[in-house]
A and B are shown apart, each in its own frame.
Chain A
């Protein structure tokens, strides 16, 4: 951090919040609020004379509340810049009669209560999001007694307790009696790898999160080795489900920890009780290796807490980012573009994308920096020839396209009647806008309505009543169908596939036209939720198909004849199975029904089109 602070090409804006981001790749306009520190950071020498005179005492957030700080403080020892700041909400006031003691104590006169927040605007070509993550709060897990028993602490609190720069200056003591604990237990997977259960403390019934937080096992192994180095007579027990020690050198560390006498018990404790006189902890656990119930008396228990995605969705919204089902940010492609956001010119570094350790964070940050550099070195960016454009003769400025675009690439103002404009550098070509546009005013280059309709017509030119027409998205379902083919899986030969970039491109008109031409069955298929190449464009597919089912029922067409399926590129088996199931359904569709449908579509849809 100090290196970054000293680098001539890096401007660090600390104590600053992002107010707004507009624009697109190469041309982002960023507005920030530089919050008033009330201390001139260029003048402050961090002498600390102001601190002892400040009468306001608050828990020190960096020390996890294990020590205190004043209202004028440096957030943590290596903070850049090394200058004090005043939390004005805690400060007794800038009126000298109320307090103002720090003003008198500061020889350099760098405290200024008239300082105001400053709004600054600047332009950047690329943005790297590295906003990190939050730590799981185990207070709701009643069985562990966190906050009820003083000697049950979290792994982060433990980190501060053994740090030489921590609240106890590295003297390892337990909170209840400030004595050095001799018997320590670590409980793994607190808030991680949990199932949703009805008695879970969270609103959704969960006891944490289903994913593995990635670093907690190795953090405990590291802590156990640290303790064994400094306090060799400490008895350490680790309660775990599985120890996940993948990564270079990690297995060696794990083995070394066991060799030094750390005991690993396979099983997570069901309950912790406290001896009220000694404040020692009685931990009940089912040792699943030995197959017996055990009770361990320990002086201190460390909860190895997992990670949760950061709660602030502000940046996510400003950059039109999306997240995976675990709440962390969704990358453009999990294997091929792991540090790119789906929005062009935006990259990820660190735990905002998923929980990771320091080494992985540094690797990803270096990759993100290189990706951004590569972009900034270019004079112009090229886009694929599949972007959208708006025919202003047809556009009525309704603004629907603005709402469905996952990339925020379209601007329009229904109130001012300003027609839609596509920022092509931001457009990824999913076609959700074109499918939703009630005026058909949006044209997708190389996937135009005319081109897709022509494919529908060609596919159903002969014996349409014997065909099942499939709309398959380029990235998942089409690849899944392809896999079924190359794997020589049997599926009905009357399947006709029309490829669109995204299932979100499938316009209602394509489906009605297929039925008008006499198709017996139609399948719309796309990527699984969370896998969509265009972030959430497939959510619009589900909503649209829902609407079409309702319409079919109103019109007197069996909704079953339109099917929807999420098929990934790896699910060749699923594609073949779905097509076989749909073929069963197709056999039930009579010629009379098809003729009736054709008449209904001709009447209802053609009338609407006019």
Chain B
């Protein structure tokens, strides 16, 4: 087993930089998610790790080995494709056996390993089935067994859950996460679903326009986003436009002074807080509140969401646990307040 190191990798198609100067150190045994909107370069990054796409610049290392120029079939990776790509003309067992056969393993060893892998993913009973006669979840398990049979150094998964319905998706991701932990294999998976990334990854790399915006644990990204993009992409976020005037001091566009925690250079920026950190109150406190009007109230069961508009015209969102008595109503003029520790600033 080994970690994977991407150093300043780039891939350009004509004038488009699909992946732009990305460096990531994926730790040994870690499950890293590449997360970002459609077209941000996730798949291209994954395919550069696999060896399907040659980087325009930069290097890919597995452990200490530079594999940048090594073709796919000599890299020793395992890959689970979007839609699984099981061989339609081979049975489940033959699918799993494929990687071992082309590597020239001897017969007895192959048979033992196939049995072991099918047992691992609980598919022994269906070993002689055609992939066409499997459900989505079963196909995915076979795809995983096939990808892992030859003991790859790195496991790569491209949108592995996108073909499954919502319920099965939740179940399969826990299952895959467990299998990945058991095997202790360095893994990278691509998704555009932030909830999915947060649910199973050790760390998440958020990509946008070919660049890696931020790399960190789900908590890091949620609590300390480094950019407006990350703040808005991971969870919901309120942005109040204005500029930073000094350490911890912020002024809104219409001149109201606010405070925030953390550091930021002086200049135009946005002060942010999460909807669950806002409180609606009749009292205005200086430094950490804004006068607002309630525009809409959405009851969502345990929580209720309030759409607010500030005097400066900022749209804000606050969510609070639903309480019957004295809850704010549409048209109420109140203040939204937050604790200074929950307010941060992004460019």
Q: Do A and B bind each other?
A: no
